[in-house]
Amino acid sequence: MTTTEPTVSLDQPTVVEAPKVQQSGVPREGIKPKRASVLEVWRSMPLTVKFSTVWLILVFGGAIYAKVDTTIFDGALPLQDPNAQTNGFSAATGEFGDGEPLEKPSADHWLGTDAIARDTFSRIVHGGWVSLIVASVAAGFGVIFGGFLGALVGFVRGRTEAVIMSAIDVILAFPALILLLAMVSIFRVRDLLIISLVIGFLSIPAYTRVARATSLAISQREFVLAARAIGTKPGTILRREVIPNVLPVVLSYAMVAAAFVIVVEGSLSFLGLSVQLPTSTWGNMINLARADIKVDVMQAVYPSLALVITVLSLNQVGDWFQKRASHRASAL
């Protein structure tokens, strides 16, 4: 990767825009930066990151498939109803089913059945949806608001920084899990989107700090100083120079933060305080299975594995992207 210093001629009028550097440090006008293809990115990944990426695609792809199955195809796609109790009453037949709770894995039930005879595999696949939504909404919220605030205060400094960072510190002082527990207990909130937004709101300080640190560093770089020197408006510098260079760092942090958010949601579910039952989540599956852990430990292990590997994968991929982003930043 080559580093190209932005060139500014003293003869140029002061309204000249600073050169774009977010693409491998190459100015917009001039040699077009070479974007790495998906295949090149894939090849450059270590094996663990490749494995993690595949896992995340499977889990979240499966969750989307499950959601499409229930909302569009009314359960017609080949995946069992996650809430159907195989020993439950059927209005159609007027009889109870002949399934058993805690069945061992079989061709019909790949991971067996839970304490009330529901297909565990299907519940794990559907459970991924809640994790996906919580992680996406919270990360999106954090990236947009936290990322912008951090980039802004790192660039403008002064009173704005003092006021915003004080507010951020106040939010940071909230014990997130306890606040969530209080919210769902007192206000009886069970809506997935609202829970996600609250988790996202509580994530803002972390994103802000990460973005601010990067923004502080970027704001002292030569190309930003040069842009200031030639009189580019601060808003333009922020939009064209700072934010584009802060964004990769914040996005890669978002993956690591998403892992944390999934664990928080899992904790809420485990405590019975997340989305409304019988919606499956990995946390409420673990909670339900612990009552029978001496009889069938696997029913607790399967959702735990899904949670652990997903969190591990997000960390792996997030770390890798963070490393990539820092290489790019140092190459600017």
Nearest CB to another protein, comparing residues 141 and 320: 320
> Whole-number minimum distance, CB 205 to another protein, in Å?
28
Cα–Cα distance measured from residue 246 to residue 207, given in angstroms and rounded to the nearest whole number:
11
> Whole-number minimum distance, CB 220 to another protein, in Å?
31
Do the beta carbons of residue 283 and residue 270 sit within 8 Å? Answer: yes
Name the residues that contact another protein, by CB under 8 A. 46-48, 51, 83-85, 87-91, 94, 96, 101-102, 104, 115-116, 185, 188, 190, 271-273, 276-278, 284, 287-298, 301, 304-305, 308-309, 312, 316
Nearest CB to another protein, comparing residues 1 and 277: 277
Cα–Cα distance measured from residue 224 to residue 237, given in angstroms and rounded to the nearest whole number:
7
Q: Which residues of 282-313 are buried (b: 16+ CB within 10 A; e: fewer)?
A: bbbbbbbbeeeeeebebbbebbbebbebbbeb
Rg of the chain taking only CA atoms, in angstroms: 25
> Whole-number minimum distance, CB 168 to another protein, in Å?
31
> Whole-number minimum distance, CB 288 to another protein, in Å?
5
Handedness of CA 123, 124, 130, 136 (dihedral sign): negative
> Whole-number minimum distance, CB 140 to another protein, in Å?
27
Nearest CB to another protein, comparing residues 27 and 97: 97
Peptide bond into 278 cis (omega under 30): yes
Cα–Cα distance measured from residue 151 to residue 218, given in angstroms and rounded to the nearest whole number:
9
> Whole-number minimum distance, CB 109 to another protein, in Å?
15
Nearest CB to another protein, comparing residues 1 and 308: 308
Nearest CB to another protein, comparing residues 101 and 205: 101
Nearest CB to another protein, comparing residues 162 and 297: 297
Helix (H) or strand (E) holding 223: helix 222-229
Stated length of the chain: 332
